[in-house]
Chains A and B, each alone.
Chain A
């Protein structure tokens, strides 16, 4: 049981701590009782929430207007080195834009390898073993480090379920940022939020995703409308992200987001293994596809063999008239 201290990187989201960070704290709780949350931005003000989710200490990094990756990694690396044997044995990072930036920098600063795309963590004979879903989720590969360096795990959101009730507010400690030199020379000059109403893709109870079967970019409006009517979030297959119909942030799957909504609607999506690995965890799946042989029907709880241009407009009208 010698897992030691675990740190989890918790990024900011909508004025507080991101859910994917709280999920990491839950994962850490299953493994150890000494947990530090490393925060930046608005997440630093969430000591109470973080404590409630299991963090005994909250280590804050003031990144200002810099991109988070370099300063956060530099602060963590300095703190790890200063603490020596009292420092963390493992650091969990979310597989997100910032989480990956921090992981890459940290790996070089600490000369520590990284295990990414982690979908489960367990302790086996005193060492941490990470689970990875490969080949579209049909195979699980477990891997562990063979070095005594700090273990860096980049964990896919939705791997653990966030849960409060673990304790009081964490003790806050500011981590100084050492001089970051040339790599630190990035400044966020403006943030642009796209008009998006409704819940976030990876937190929405309902996700409606569109694929190439929609036929053209304009028809993605049907997906947005359907998502709005179901108080859900619109998502997409990679085919239409690569085609430039919607931004990358909509992508569900191996190289996009993992979603675990109560209901997932796949509209004009074939069900490639790389797509399914990102949505197979949904409680219920509804698929609309004109090809009866489409693999998506193999995992759909309700499959409709039909033309999206016929079924979806009628579905929208029926929902509107309720």
Chain B
């Protein structure tokens, strides 16, 4: 079984974000890491290949600046190889252009390690969180997609999936190949051992450009996004009210506050 897992490399999510004053897009700089949301997808991919009795996991990533640090995290967890699409023209890409690039990379992965049976992604990235890229990717690859997945069982040519819903979950069946998006917290991502981190250094990590994938710079980046930021303003602030220390009776304060609000 061959699973392609999309991995986004992002700046430290704990660092405060800011917008580029000129392009008004998110400044993405500093040390890059694998988006935590993707660690669940990598873990699920590894487990599925193991359950299938073998195969390969290919990590797929896109970055404007030859960034591979975050992809190394996926290789250290156990992915076998990686394809990173890197090109200065990718800067400013929107969700649809990103999906277009990832689709070309997944296709390339299929040429390399055999046809891809399953594409795994997070439900959305931590820094951009548009949340449409995975399904756009599935559409471009002409694949079925099951989103917000809690559990995946592959069985030959078909996959059975538990999909999160507002009421509970749906059991969904799909043919393979397919794409699934994995909800955070549904598997326990493994911590790579020191040995695995060292071994990752020697795993194949192919950095390819747009032209290598037959894509044109006009389809991606700022040019391909076909949207613009018209204005940036500060939001209204909300003020705090009374703060009380619990002296053993603070719950009564809450009760009387709820009474005053006519909640009880």
Contact = CB atoms under 8 A, between A and B. Distances in A.
A192 B168 contact: yes
B144 A305 contact: no
B95 interface: yes
Contact of B134 (A104, A143, A194, A314): A104
A169 B94 CA distance: 39
Contact of B96 (A107, A243, A244): A107
Interface string A213-255: 0000000000000000010000000100111100111000011
A191 B234 contact: no
Contact of B185 (A244, A284, A311): A244
B79 to A, nearest CB: 21
B142 interface: yes
A303 B241 contact: yes
Contact of A139 (B233, B243, B264): B233
A188 B229 CA distance: 39
B170 A241 contact: no
A67 B174 CA distance: 10
B164 A292 contact: no
A104 B171 contact: no
Contacts of B186: 244
Contact of A108 (B96, B147, B165, B168): B96
Nearest to A238: B184
B144 A186 contact: yes
Contacts of B230: 124, 129, 142-144
Interface residues of A, number: 94
Interface in A96-116: 96-97, 100-101, 103-105, 107-109, 112-116
A103 B170 contact: no
B234 A300 contact: no
Interface in A285-322: 286, 288, 292, 297-307, 310-312, 314-315, 318-319, 322
B132 A116 contact: yes
A147 B171 CA distance: 39
Interface residues of B, number: 83
Interface stretch (A33-41, A49-57, A82-90, A177-185): A177-185
A112 B32 CA distance: 30
Interface string A114-150: 1111000000100001000111011111111111010
Interface string A169-204: 000000000000111111111111110100010000
B26 to A, nearest CB: 8
A200 B166 contact: yes
Nearest to B230: A142
Nearest to B177: A182
B135 interface: yes
B217 interface: no
A178 B27 CA distance: 42
B254 A302 contact: yes
Interface string B18-62: 010000100000000000000000000000000000000000000
Contacts of B131: 95, 100, 116-117, 154
Of the candidates B16, B139, B164, B255, the one having the most CB atoms from chain A within 10 angstroms of its own CB is: B139
A133 B235 CA distance: 8
12 contacts: A97-B164, A104-B136, A113-B94, A142-B231, A183-B142, A185-B144, A188-B170, A241-B184, A241-B185, A255-B129, A302-B253, A310-B248
Interface of B: 16-17, 19, 24, 94-96, 99, 123-124, 126, 129-136, 138-140, 142-148, 150, 160, 163-175, 178, 183-186, 188, 225-235, 237-246, 248, 250-255, 257-258, 261, 263-264
Interface of A: 13, 67, 69-70, 95-97, 100-101, 103-105, 107-109, 112-117, 124, 129, 133-135, 137-147, 149, 154, 181-194, 196, 200, 205-206, 230, 238, 241-244, 247-249, 254-255, 262-263, 280, 284, 286, 288, 292, 297-307, 310-312, 314-315, 318-319, 322
